[in-house]
Amino acid sequence: QLQLRESGPGLVKPSETLSLTCTVSGGSISGSNYYWGWIRQPPGKGLEWIGSIYDSGSAYYNPSLKSRVTISVDTSKNQFSLNLNSVTATDTALYYCAREPNAWGPGTLVTVSS
């Protein structure tokens, strides 16, 4: 059974870079023919798509975040990662990784605060 799990710091300082990794088990990113994505949800609010990557490395981003986001994939480790730079308090959210649209990780809360 496919499982995804997010990992990374739960607290990031303003202006710094938020870095998260999604580890996939029970299935392979390589050759999957799926997009692997990052989604976030501020406390008490809706879902916001951040971006997705294909196993080939082709990535697509939310235009509102594009200037600050990089998503990369490491098929040898069966992982993909999110970097979001120049963070502010508005980037505080639950961050989910997913094999879109059908499998989600449990999410990890990232708080931006000094």
Partner 1 sequence: ECVLTQSPGTLSLSPGDRATLSCRASQSVGYNYLAWLQQKPGQAPRLLISGASSRATGIPDRFSGSGSGTDFTLTISRLEPEDFAVYFCQQYGSFPFTFGPGTKVDLK
Spatial separation of the C-alpha atoms in residues 65 and 56, rounded to whole Å = 22
Q: Which is nearer to partner 1, 16 or 94 (CB)?
A: 94
Spatial separation of the C-alpha atoms in residues 42 and 83, rounded to whole Å = 17
DSSP codes joined into one string, 6-55: EES-SEE-TTS-EEEEEEEESS-STT---EEEEEEE-TTS--EEEEEE-T
Asked whether the beta carbons of 72 and 56 are under 8 A apart, the reply is no
Spatial separation of the C-alpha atoms in residues 32 and 4, rounded to whole Å = 14
Residues 30-49 that bind partner 1 (CB under 8 A): 35, 37, 39, 46-49
Q: Which is nearer to partner 1, 31 or 43 (CB)?
A: 43
| Candidate list 9, 26, 101, 111; residue touching partner 1; CB under 8 A | 101
Give bridge partners of residue 94 from the DSSP assignment.
41, 109
Here's the x/- map for partner 1, 49-88, by CB under 8 A: it reads as x-xx-------xxxx-------------------------
Closest approach of Cβ 101 to partner 1, in Å? Answer: 4
Closest approach of Cβ 89 to partner 1, in Å? Answer: 22
Binding site for partner 1 (CB under 8 A): 35, 37, 39, 46-49, 51-52, 60-63, 96, 100-107
